[in-house]
Amino acid sequence: MAGGWAMVPILICSLAALAIVLERCWTLRRKAVLPPGLGEEVRQWARAGQLDPAHLETLSNGSPLGELLAAALAVRNQPRELIKERIEDTGRHVVHEMERYLNTLGTIALIGPLLGLFGTVIGLIRMFMQVMAGGIGDPAKMAGGIGEALICTASGLTVAIPAYILHRYFRSRVAGYCVQMEKQATALLDELTLSRPAAARPRRTAAAAVTAAAAPDAG
């Protein structure tokens, strides 16, 4: 109330930031993103051939890591390059989901001080208008305008500083998760491609074999 009507957008931003922080804290829990032992369990599925659609559906819906590994398993019989491309495409989608609302949180961190500055300017304008209308004989009116300006500034910074810190924290957490997910996806990719029977691996064409055999003689 003492900060004037400019406090309304600041309060709205604070509520939005609080909601985003609580939601991201719950969504980006480590055990929800990277369930312990999931990577090794999926590689055991691949070794045992337990890759029916029910397993893949459960895996994809369980966690972001599971969604990434399920995407690789869905094209497990394809060449390594195609499996890797599918992992990269799915990985971009997974990262986008993990970074949901973080841009909004960063925007709140950016506009918080600006809203506080806006309230400060409004308070100073009101104070000078009152001075112009009634002179400087009433110190209470000047104190009210200065107080309104200071309250808005402090409130904007109070919202912006935690929002900025938490925005950077969540971004760092997502980046760490991406490194771990990439490691698990690479291990699964090696399991799917290096363990294939020799007959299932791509072979050189007859022309390529002849060319390779003739190369030393040409020298």
DSSP-assigned letters across all residues of 59-105: HHHH-HHHHHHHHHHHTTTS-HHHHHHHHHHHHHHHHHHHTTTHHHH
In a domain, 65, yes or no: yes
Domain that residue 129 falls in: 7-195
- Asked if residues 131 and 142 have their Cβ atoms less than 8 Å apart, the reply is yes
Ranges of beta strands (E only) in the chain are none
Coil vs helix vs strand at 178? helix
Q: Position of tokens 């990719």?
A: 189
In a domain, 147, yes or no: yes
In a domain, 211, yes or no: no
In a domain, 139, yes or no: yes
User: What pLDDT is stored for residue 145 in this prediction?
Assistant: 65
What is the C-alpha separation between 95 and 81, in angstroms, rounded?
Answer: 21
Angle between helices 7-27 and 102-134 (to 10 degrees): 160
The dihedral formed by the CA atoms of 180, 185, 186 and 188, expressed in degrees to the nearest 10? 130
User: What pLDDT is stored for residue 204 in this prediction?
Assistant: 42
What is the C-alpha separation between 164 and 105, in angstroms, rounded?
Answer: 8
Tally of domains within the chain: 1
Q: Position of tokens 């398993």?
A: 73
User: What pLDDT is stored for residue 78 in this prediction?
Assistant: 87
In a domain, 200, yes or no: no
User: What pLDDT is stored for residue 26 in this prediction?
Assistant: 95
User: What pLDDT is stored for residue 137 in this prediction?
Assistant: 56
Please count the CA atoms within 13 angstroms of the CA of 158 that sit on its side-chain side: 11
Using CA of residue 34, residue 40, residue 43, residue 45, what is the dihedral sign? negative
In a domain, 205, yes or no: no
In a domain, 125, yes or no: yes
In a domain, 47, yes or no: yes
Residue 63 backbone zone (phi > 0: left; psi -120 to 50: alpha; other: beta): beta
Q: Which residues of the chain are under the pLDDT cut of 50?
A: 198-219
Phi, psi of 95 (to 5 degrees): -65, -40
User: What pLDDT is stored for residue 200 in this prediction?
Assistant: 45
- Asked if residues 160 and 112 have their Cβ atoms less than 8 Å apart, the reply is yes
User: What pLDDT is stored for residue 125 in this prediction?
Assistant: 78
What is the C-alpha separation between 163 and 165, in angstroms, rounded?
Answer: 6
